[in-house]
Each structure stands twice: as structure tokens, then as C-alpha cells.
Structure 1
């Protein structure tokens, strides 16, 4: 995957350039090409001319991520009417994504960003803290991209149960 203006150091944001702007509403969406569930791949070039949602989640088959994915799956008929492609992105390897998709009947692609390159580009590979321990991980965030390849909505630290309804409402306005 190539991301010219974004660093991919595998350790979160490129702190050598603290002024580096993260993509926001109205900005071009970073390009990507990732392996995905079901033996497929997903790329921004294949999605050119179509709106899509990239949603980043920490780990497949965990309670919050399952709630979020199942909510999106339930909303797919409505999102499909809006011609919106949904792609879930996590650092999990493809076999784990395949198991997750199969276990819960997820029909949208789950992409593996094992090197955190796309997550870094979107600024969602961040330092976290739990039980006094700090580490880097995926921030649960979503980006709605329009048919021109521009970001139209951003949700950071989204609540899994609220995610699908927020996306459906914003997508209806594209």
C-alpha cells in the first residue's frame, strides 16, 4: 500500500512531523489496497466513483466489535439502497477476519491492515492505556467517503451500538 503524504511507521502517528494534518471532512481520502476476508482484496481504486465507508475497529470477535459489525450487517439493505460500500478495517490477519465473518454472517468485506499503514494515514492507530499499561492500538473510528473520493463524515471513538444509525443518516445526505 502506498500513502505518499502519510507515514507508516507501525507505531502510530509519525511524531517526526507533529504538524502533519490528519485527513478530515472535505479532504481526499488516503488511497489503499488491502487483503480482505473471503480471499478478496479491497482498494480505493476499485471503489472510484462510488461512495464507501471505512470503519476501523480494534479486534475481530470481541464484544464491542461484534456489536458494531452486526449493526452494520443489519443496516446493509438500507446502505445498499444508498449505493454505499462498507469495509471494516482491523489489524487482524485475514484468517481471523474470515472466522469472524463466518461466525456472524457478515457479508461486507473485512480488510486486514496488519501493518497499520491505513490506520496511520487516518490517524486511528493511537496510543491507548488500560490498567496502567500503555500500548498502540486501533481507535474505533469511521470515515464516510463520497463518490469523488473526499471524506464527508468522520466519527472518532464511535459507540458500537450507535454506529450503524449514524452512518445511515449521513449516507442518506450524500
Structure 2
């Protein structure tokens, strides 16, 4: 069609086809119809599709938190599946935002020579002065601490009025 006609003729051939007419008719804006998994296909592609297509009447630019930055670049390269969450509506706010650093690795925490890193969960931060209200927003805090710094972190937490709920090895 492109060889014989023009670009407009090619577009018209799609719009005037029987398949298009039976799927959308004359008064419906086209939308993605392939929300199905297929035998032999990886689920990674299926989950990536939901990051780009958020449902009927969604905008790939205005509705995206990533704005003009690539939405799936690092996930496609690493073949990492993503959570499929429903689009937000009303006063729910955005239901899923990826963390800026990602949550797959421990950023900024190096293991000591023994190779051990510990997860220290702290609860009940209390002020030691007259005001007994915690200066922290959350009641529980979690720290990843290398073994050689564990004693120093333990002392710091207690000096600030924290109560250690648990210390567990991570690696």
C-alpha cells in the first residue's frame, strides 16, 4: 500500500479494515487489547507492559512518574520482572514508585574482613529530656551494620534513647 499510495492510505487501510471495525467501531478510541500471557513467553515482558500501559484511557506521558526518563531501561536490560499494581485513582495517590536506589542490594554497607553484616532493628526511640515524644517519624528503624562497627552502633542507639528489638546476621 505504501508503494502504490501514501502514508495516509496505509493508515486508512488499518482504520477501514473489518478487524478494526469489529473491535472498535466508529466511536471508540483504540486501546491495547492484548492483556494475556502466552505459552512459551516470559512473564517479564508481561509485567513490563503494565508499567507502560496502565489501562484504558491512560497516557504514556502524563500518567507516568518517570516523565521523560526511560521507564524500563534498567529492568529490560537485567530481565527483572516488576510488580503489577492497579493504577491509582481518587485520593489513593500513586500506588507504586520505585525507590531511587532500588532495593536489590545493600548500598553503602560494606562487609568487614569476616564478611558479616548485621540487621539491627531499633524501636521505641525516646527523648531523654522532658519532651518524651520521639524525634523520628517511624517508631521502628532498621540499620545494616558491618560486624566491626556493631559495638559503636549499639552505643549510639542507646545514647539516643533507642531500644534494640533484634540483631540478626544478613550475610
Interval containing the TM-score (normalised by the shorter chain): under 0.3
**What is the TM-score normalised by the length of structure 2?**
0.22
Higher strand residue share: 1
Rg (Cα) greater in structure: 2
Q: Which has the higher contact order (CA 8 A, sep 6+)?
A: 1
